Amino acid sequence: MGKLAIGCFPGLVGNMTFDFAMKLADAAADKGHSVSIWFSGNATGSVKAHQKHLKDYSTGEKPLLALIAKGVEICTCEACTVARGVQKPESIEGVQWNAMHWYLARVHAADRVLLIGGE
Amino acid sequence: MKLGVFVSDFNLTVDTLDRLKAEKLGIILVQNGVYHATTKVSGKASSLLDKTQNLYVLSDDVQIRGLKVEDVDKRVKVVNYSDIVDLMFNDYDKTAWL
Amino acid sequence: MGDVKVAMIVQKPQYKGETSRLAITHAISYQTVEILLEDGETVTPKLCFIGEGVLGLQKGQNAMELYGITSTESHMKNTLLVDLDVLVCKEDLDKYGIPEDAMPNADEMGADKTIQVVPFAEIQKAIEEANHVMFF
């Protein structure tokens, strides 16, 4: 099976592109592909734990936990995340924190790359 | 180059797409990009549909908008997420989100 | 695979959305990726500006004074200092009336590289030669 490296920049709330990335990752993982997701920009806000799922808004925590349970590797850009006031102890368990070179390293190993730029 | 391009907007991304050249070009319509497949402007279908014969539209993103699969232009194949994964790995060697 | 080539294409202007700025910083991070790779493995980005993406590159930016953030001009100097290939579409500079000498350089900082103003065909070639392509 292949390796897919998704880069996701759009924010969780106010944009459904994040939902697309989650569903694509889920479908790829279900088919047996190895999937890694890199969050940068506004997408990093999605790694904060204890999100309340209001029905007017997409939720990040539930799909992220489900993906992590399936073996999907998820990493958030540390600089982008702390810039949004989210500290490491507050983040969803299993999410990695690293710098932009983490994504380039996953891109190096990937068969396919999809970079979803932000707003 | 076999390039699969995700188009997620109705109007904004055509300029870049016009310039890209590929031996095989695939256009995958997602989010508001699905309107290219379903909606005529002043009676005319989107010119995007003339760019390649390899056209796909995400069924979830059609149906969430209250559109029906029957509304999709006959040139466009309706696909699901699993199909998109297969397209990415089997039909195109590079993918781009415009 | 030893070297993986990545074409990073910036098509949005700077100073509204963050995406076009993040393209530059992601490209610069190629310099430290080796700590996560095996010996002999490298990632080589080409940072390309097309369409409205060429608008945010001009010299004389005052981002730090006015908004307290690093300017794109400063980021561009850093790309040159770390020997990144930066391609800017000539047709688009012409379209917006931006002269080539408005592009920043890092000569005073000792950079060997300069921004390359090239026809779009060269950027198309970079996309074709790349293992992966990213649009920002």
Contact C19 A103 (CB under 8 A): no
CATH of the domain at C125: 3.40.1260.10
Across the interface, of A40, A101, A104, the residue whose CB is closest to C22 is A40
**Domain hosting residue C37, numbered range:** 3-135
CA proximity to B88, closest of C9, C123, A110: A110
pLDDT digits (tens, 9 = 90+) for A52-92: 999 999 889 999 999 999 999 999 999 999 999 999 999 99
* Among C residues 41-100, those touching chain B with beta carbons less than 8 Å apart: 50-51
| CB pair distance less than 8 Å for C19 and A9 | yes
CB-CB: which of C124, C127, C135 is closest to B97? C135
Across the interface, of A112, A115, A116, the residue whose CB is closest to B89 is A112
Q: How confident is the model at residue B12 (pLDDT cuts 50, 70, 90)?
A: low
Q: What is the DSSP letter of A14?
A: T
Task: Write down which chains contact chain C via at least 3 CB pairs under 8 A.
Answer: A, B
CA quadruple A70, A113, C21, A9: dihedral sign: negative
Chains in contact with B via at least 3 Cβ–Cβ pairs below 8 Å: A, C
Q: Which residues in chain C have Cβ-Cβ distances shorter than 8 Å to B9?
A: none
B23-46 average pLDDT score:
96
Domain ranges of chain A: 3-9+17-31+40-48+58-116
| pLDDT for residue A3 | 98
Torsion angle of the four alpha carbons C22, C25, C26, C30, in this order, in degrees rounded to the nearest 10: 170
Q: Compare all CA atoms of chain A with the CA of B92 and give the residue at the minimum distance.
A: A112
> Residue by residue, what is the 3-state secondary structure of chain B?
CEEEEEECCCCCCHHHHHHCCCCEEEEEECHHHHHHHHCCECCECCHHHHCCCEEEEEHHHHHCCCCCHHHCCCCCEEECHHHHHHHHHHHCCEEEEC
CATH 3.40.1260.10 for the A3-9+17-31+40-48+58-116 domain, yes or no? yes
Whole-number average pLDDT of chain A = 96
Count CB atoms within 10 A of the CB of residue C16: 10
Distances (CA, A) of A63 to A68, A89, C55: 9, 20, 38
Give the global pTM: 0.96
Closest CA to C124 of B17, A108, B51, A17: B17
> How does A51-89 read in b/e, with b if 16+ C-beta sit within 10 Å?
beeeeeebbbbebbbebbeeebbbbbbbebbeeeebeee
Question: Chain B residue with minimal CA distance to A17?
Answer: B31
Count of structural domains, chain C: 1
Give me the domains of chain B, ranges plus CATH numbers. Answer: 2-97 (3.40.1260.10)
Mean pLDDT to the nearest integer, C2-24: 96
